[in-house]
């Protein structure tokens, strides 16, 4: 509706669900009186900051397609789902670990993030970082409850940074990065629960026997590039693994 002023909302202190998407808002200060708010969507506005007064019951916020550059001022204690897709965020520093102890889903697709350093939120279960410029993975050892990690369309050439403390990670998407060798894939052996891996559109996926080479290093996989692992493949991969062990001896 092209709204630039939402001061009228200050009166409606019992509002719980508010959608202000596709307007021209630059300031969310009038929402600070809505202390009962549970769900807020402000996609496609002109916001340069996500900073708001702490709202005690707020559980879901979507700030997609704004001009937000950092995490300053996001401090809602019950916030479980936060989306900042397609903004201008370059660093993940500033996310308040002390306040966001309920956060489980964080969506940061399509920003300008270069590294994961400083993002360790202990209860996070799903983290979406596709379409950034990430070239190094740091601080991942803090993600002890993370189940899904999406890193498609980044600049990763090495897979250092994964940790055996990531004992819940089941789904990892690395599509369209720069991973050339199976030695890098081998570093994923530290992930004990990894079941689904997406590696297509990496240089290593062009290698002969690509699926078997990956499976011989990660035998626990159930799915590679969205295709289920066949029993025949598993047997072939097992033979390749045995042959590699013999050579190493």
Please name the residues in contact with 169: beta carbons below 8 A apart, sequence gap of 6 or more.
Answer: 143, 146, 147, 148, 149, 191, 193, 194
Edge-to-edge order in the sheet of strand 60-62 = 17-19, 39-41, 60-62, 81-83, 105-107, 126-128, 148-150, 171-173, 196-198, 223-224, 227-228
Question: For residue range 78-118, what is the model confidence (pLDDT) as tens digits?
Answer: 999 999 999 999 988 877 677 788 999 999 999 999 999 88
Is the whole model's pTM more than 0.85, yes or no? yes
The predicted pLDDT at position 119 comes to: 83
Least confident of 17-31, 57-71, 95-109, 221-235: 95-109
Please name the residues in contact with 10: beta carbons below 8 A apart, sequence gap of 6 or more.
Answer: 30, 33
The predicted pLDDT at position 96 comes to: 66
Q: Which long-range contacts (CB under 8 A, 24 or more apart) does 189-193 make?
A: 189/217, 189/218, 190/162, 190/163, 190/164, 190/166, 191/162, 191/164, 191/166, 192/164, 192/167, 192/220, 193/167, 193/168, 193/169, 193/220
The predicted pLDDT at position 97 comes to: 72
Q: What is the mean pLDDT of residues 123-135?
A: 96
Question: For residue range 2-20, what is the model confidence (pLDDT) as tens digits?
Answer: 999 999 999 999 999 999 9
Q: Residue 247 pLDDT more than 90?
A: no
Q: What is the mean pLDDT of residues 20-35?
A: 96
pLDDT over 90 for what percent of the chain?
87
Tell me how far apart the 2 most distant CA atoms of the chain are, in Å. Answer: 75
Are 12 and 37 in contact, with CB atoms under 8 Å apart?
no
């Amino acid at each position: 509706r092209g709204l630039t002023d939402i001061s009228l909302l200050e009166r409606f202190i019992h509002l719980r669900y508010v959608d202000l998407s596709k307007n021209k808002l630059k300031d969310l200060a009038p929402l600070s009186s809505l202390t009962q708010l549970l769900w807020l969507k402000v996609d496609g506005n002109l916001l340069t900051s996500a900073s708001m007064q702490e709202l005690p019951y707020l559980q879901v916020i979507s700030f997609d397609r704004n001009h937000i550059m950092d995490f300053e001022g996001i401090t809602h204690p019950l916030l479980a789902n936060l989306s900042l897709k397609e903004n201008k965020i370059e660093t993940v520093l500033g996310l308040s670990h002390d306040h966001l102890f309920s956060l489980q889903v964080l969506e940061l697709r399509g920003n300008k993030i270069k590294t994961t350093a400083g993002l360790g939120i202990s209860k996070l279960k799903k983290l979406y970082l596709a379409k950034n410029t990430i070239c190094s993975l740091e601080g991942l050892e803090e993600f002890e409850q993370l189940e899904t990690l999406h890193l498609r369309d980044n600049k990763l050439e090495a897979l250092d940074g994964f940790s055996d403390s990531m004992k819940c990670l089941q789904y990892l998407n690395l599509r369209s990065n720069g991973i050339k060798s199976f030695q890098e894939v081998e570093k994923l052996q530290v992930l004990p629960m990894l079941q689904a891996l997406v590696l297509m559109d990496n240089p290593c996926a062009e290698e002969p026997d690509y699926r078997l080479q990956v499976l011989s290093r990660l035998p626990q996989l159930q799915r590679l590039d969205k295709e289920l692992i066949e029993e025949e493949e598993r047997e072939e991969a097992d033979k390749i693994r045995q042959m590699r062990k013999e050579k190493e001896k």
